[in-house]
Chains A and B, each alone.
Chain A
Amino acid sequence: MNWLTNWSPSWQWFHRLGSPRWFYQTTGRWLPWLSLLTLVLLGTGLVWGLGFAPQDAKQGNSFRIIYLHVPASFLALAGYYIMAIAGAIGLIWKMKLSYMVMKSAAPIGAALTFLALFTGAVWGKPTWGTYWVWDARVTSMLILLFLYLGVLALQYAFHSNEAGNRASAILALVGTVNIPIIYKSVDWWYTLHQPATIKLTSAPSMHPDMFQPLLVMILGFYCFYAVTLCLYTRAEILRRERKSSWVKELVVKGQKS
């Protein structure tokens, strides 16, 4: 690998990305802008979606929960892949930073999965008449929550950070292989056991007036996710690098100002 890094300057960014200090400083510059963008997007999306989008013909106002439910489910799934890819990068290139990203992605993803399940249940009560249905999608989201919790539990079970990182990275990767299998099999199981009383998949295609705020909300949630991930990772960097000189300098500077 040595010749590769010497030979090609295009790899430099990748190695710089591996330095926690560089990440901390760069995200420190980006964070205010990203947070502002998140606030604007979420604010616009929420006001537009909750206040101005037309009512649904059958569900009335209760459909408006999709402006939280759909983006949360999106990010819950995407977050798992972000976590697994970060873990894989950590395993392959032994990069400290990507383990920190992986560790930070787990609680955020678990919280978003829970939010998706919770908002689904709240919406289910007036619409389906029950908080919980063993629907294929609901069940696979629940299993996703279990996968997140497993990664979290494994991470904290090890005394040494290193071993915990590697173990949870492997588990995240095994989970990635399993997610499509779990999804397909739960789908099969549902169609096998019950007649399709409720179909989430074949929802009528949305009117643009309803869809545009949703799109804004999804974008806003992506930005929100990025902000939260940065904040978590920065906290993790400070915790793990607390003995390094640049963190000490930072603390001293913070106390003076």
Chain B
Amino acid sequence: MSSGFTDYLCRDLLLAYRRPGEAASPLVFFIMVCTLVPLGITPESARLAEIAPGIIWVMALLATLLSTDSLFASDYQDGSLEQLLISPQMLSMPVLGKITAHWMVTGLPLTLASPVLGVMLSLPAQGYMPMVASLALGTGCLSLIGAVGAALTVSLRKGGLLLSLLVMPLYMPVIIFGSATVQSAIDGFAWSGPLAILGAMLAAAIALCPIAAAGALRLTSIN
């Protein structure tokens, strides 16, 4: 494909495959932090079940946030980002390819690992399907929104902490509907409503975020 989407998707997946330790760290973070919750709050399964949807969602958000920092960083350091910027392609397609690769490396493993954490935090049985579905859509949103923040801060030396400050308020709608999906399934309501809104957010983010990220890269990384 000439748009550069598949090229950058494959390239970033290959890079992640060559550095498996780096790619696995968000997942390890996710699992370890969820282990801290029973230690910090209570090991009682009734109370854990109450807070499990929220905890899993918050931790997934933090794990994604931690990894967003590296989305453009290595490309910026070795100069390949500049090459991408001066190439004749429309910049947003390669950027979307990179974001998709980022989701496949962080969001997708988190989604697949979440049922295990659900068991550990004694999530009620009817919550598993909605949790996996909402995390699959929601982490996509998180990667896309995070990419805008990563593009804005890529040229800063200590952008990591700033990135989380910028992106956190934009994440709030996602976490609201993500945990609402799981919660309403547990309470016995239909959970398709919040999930559909999450899907709508993902669609809007796919359309808008790559353009915003491409603009941010163009405007801020060339000084």
Contacts and interface: CB of A to CB of B under 8 A. Distances in A.
Interface of A: 91, 143, 146-147, 149-150, 153-154, 157-158, 160, 162-163, 166-167, 170-171, 173-175, 177-178, 181-182, 185-186, 188-189, 192-193
Interface stretch (B55-63, B112-120, B208-216): B208-216
Interface residues of B, number: 28
B188 interface: no
A91, A153, A167, A178 interface centre (most CB from chain B within 10 Å): A167
A64 B176 CA distance: 34
B156 interface: yes
Contacts of B208: 177
A189 B184 CA distance: 11
Contacts of B183: 192-193
B162 A157 contact: yes
Contacts of B6: none
29 contacts: A91-B219, A146-B168, A147-B169, A149-B165, A150-B165, A154-B166, A157-B162, A158-B220, A160-B223, A162-B223, A163-B219, A163-B223, A166-B220, A167-B219, A167-B220, A170-B152, A170-B215, A170-B219, A171-B166, A174-B170, A175-B170, A178-B169, A178-B170, A181-B201, A182-B172, A182-B173, A185-B197, A188-B177, A193-B183
B155 interface: yes
A154 B167 CA distance: 11
A153 B220 contact: no
If over half of A's interface residues share one DSSP class (helix, strand or loop), that class is named, otherwise mixed; here it is: helix
Interface of B: 148, 152-153, 155-156, 159, 162, 165-166, 168-170, 172-173, 176-177, 180, 183-184, 197, 201, 208, 212, 215-216, 219-220, 223
A62 B146 CA distance: 43
B148 A174 contact: yes
Contacts of A163: 155, 219-220, 223
B172 A185 contact: yes
B155, B170, B208 interface centre (most CB from chain A within 10 Å): B170
Nearest to A177: B208
Contact of A186 (B148, B156, B176, B184): B176
Nearest to A158: B156
Contact of A143 (B165, B172, B201, B212): B172
Contacts of B152: 154, 167, 170-171
A121 B201 CA distance: 32
B170 A189 contact: no
A166 B177 contact: no
Contacts of A91: 219
Given A153-B162, A167-B216, A189-B176, A143 B169 contact: yes
Contact of B212 (A149, A160, A166, A174): A174
Contact of A157 (B156, B169, B170, B177): B156
Contacts of A167: 152-153, 216, 219-220
A154 B162 contact: yes
A203 to B, nearest CB: 25
Given A149-B165, A160-B223, A174-B170, 20 more contacts: A91-B219, A153-B162, A157-B156, A157-B159, A158-B155, A158-B220, A162-B223, A163-B155, A166-B220, A167-B153, A167-B219, A170-B220, A173-B212, A174-B148, A178-B169, A185-B173, A186-B173, A186-B176, A188-B177, A188-B180
